[in-house]
Amino acid sequence: MSLPMYVRSHVQNGSLAAPSSDTDLDFVVVDVETACSRVSSICQIGIVGFRNGSEIFAYDTLLDPCDDFSPFNTRIHGINSDHVTGKPTFAHVHAIVDEHLSGRVTVAHSFFDKGALAAACRVHFQQPIETTWLDSVRVAKRAWPDLPSHRLNVLSRYLGLRHKHHDALSDARAAGMVIVKAIDHTGIALADWLKPTNPRGGKAPTPAKEGPLKGHRIALLGAPRDGALGQWLAAAGARVVASVGTTSTILVISADQPFGRYFHASPAYRRAVELQQAGCAIEIVTEEELRLRIAQSPVCPSVPCAAG
């Protein structure tokens, strides 16, 4: 029988499977199911490793949570005390989980899993797992802002993923593919998803007393107010505002905006269109269009064009 495209490791009958020794992973994904309301009560864990957009290993096991099973939780994932009889505890597999996650980028769909692992480490007297966390919910909201929900089952249907909801391995695999598809969809690299985002930026730059944009209140799509674009607009006399509102006169679509050709689905763009339809005098222009317009104005801002 030929081997599958990834190496799948398991804990079976109490034996411990060796963790992946691959050091060239882009990221790993973890998902857990819990037995009851105590987040430390992990009864299933799934981990999947990705490199260059493809799954290269998977690990999953049932665990004895050393805790009670809640009927509510069992209805969600279908696991009960009979399923975990004789299975290892979290303490038994801690070394495996730590080896898979430690020192890597670890994705989880919401940080419930992060909290559950931390709680299980405390309850089972194990060392905390040191990893860099990335929330795939936050990634999905930024990549597909127009979706009514960013739950994993909704995203899986939208992206055409095979997915069994509330199965730890399947959830981990689906969350990993959300990251892969978000990178492909937006062009934002994994390292950039890890950076903190503050689309409004810090303090707004002070507008120049004179300039071709004097009197305008400009909102930005995909750029911080205190960044190069915001500074350039302020030098042209504009007041750069934090968000699109009824007093905004222009929405500028940044050349660096993260939504790609789907920028029209962004909240700022949709709000500007709603205001236009309501009769507000707000214009929607690209950064390139506005820079060209300002360059042709008799009064140009005295700062260099960031776009070169």
pLDDT digits (tens, 9 = 90+) for 148-203: 788 999 999 999 999 999 999 999 999 999 999 999 998 889 998 998 665 555 67
Asked whether residue 19 carries a pLDDT value surpassing 90, the answer given is no
The pLDDT assigned to 258 comes to: 65
- Listed residue (6, 98, 143) closest to 159, CA to CA: 143
**Is 202 a domain residue?**
no
Residues 130, 260, single domain; the answer is no
Bridge partners (DSSP) of residue 49 are: 28, 57
Residues 61, 148, single domain; the answer is yes
Residues 24, 119, single domain; the answer is yes
Q: Which of 156-165, 219-228, 252-261 has the lowest mean pLDDT?
A: 252-261
Q: 3-state SS of 283-303?
A: EEEEHHHHHHHHHCCCCCCCC
Residues 122, 165, single domain; the answer is yes
Residues 65, 97, single domain; the answer is yes
Work out the mean pLDDT of the chain and round it to a whole number: 85
Asked whether residue 247 carries a pLDDT value surpassing 50, the answer given is yes
State the CATH number of the domain containing residue 283.
3.40.50.10190
Most trustworthy range by pLDDT among 21-30, 33-42, 196-205, 284-293: 33-42
Asked whether residue 297 carries a pLDDT value surpassing 90, the answer given is no
Average pLDDT over residues 226-240: 89
**Is 200 a domain residue?**
no
Task: For the beta carbon of residue 272, count every other beta carbon within 10 angstroms.
Answer: 23
**Is 64 a domain residue?**
yes
Please give the Cα distance from 62 to 83 (Å, whole number): 8
Residues 186, 224, single domain; the answer is no
Residues 140, 261, single domain; the answer is no
Residues 104, 23, single domain; the answer is yes
Residues 20, 156, single domain; the answer is yes
Asked whether residue 18 carries a pLDDT value surpassing 90, the answer given is no
Q: Are 20 and 97 in contact (CB under 8 A)?
A: no
Residues 248, 126, single domain; the answer is no
**Is 207 a domain residue?**
no
Q: Which of 6-10, 73-77, 161-165 has the lowest mean pLDDT?
A: 6-10
The pLDDT assigned to 89 comes to: 97
Please give the Cα distance from 97 to 105 (Å, whole number): 13
Asked whether residue 263 carries a pLDDT value surpassing 80, the answer given is no
> Reading across the β-sheet that carries 132-135, which strands appear in turn?
7-10, 54-62, 42-51, 27-34, 105-108, 132-135
The reported pTM is 0.63
Ramachandran quadrant class, 121 (left: phi over 0; alpha: psi -120 to 50; beta: rest): alpha
**Is 306 a domain residue?**
no
In the chain, alpha helices (H): 71-77, 90-101, 112-123, 136-143, 152-159, 168-186, 190-193, 228-235, 267-277, 287-295
Residues 185, 41, single domain; the answer is yes
The pLDDT assigned to 121 comes to: 97
Tell me which of 296 and 298 has the higher pLDDT: 296
**Is 68 a domain residue?**
yes
**Is 86 a domain residue?**
yes
State the CATH number of the domain containing residue 134.
3.30.420.10
Query: How many domains, the chain?
Result: 2
**Is 149 a domain residue?**
yes
Most trustworthy range by pLDDT among 43-57, 243-257, 265-279: 43-57
Q: Are 27 and 190 in contact (CB under 8 A)?
A: yes
The pLDDT assigned to 299 comes to: 53
Q: Give the domain range for residue 288.
A: 217-295
Which of 154, 178, 193 is the last residue in one of the domains? 193
Residues 61, 176, single domain; the answer is yes
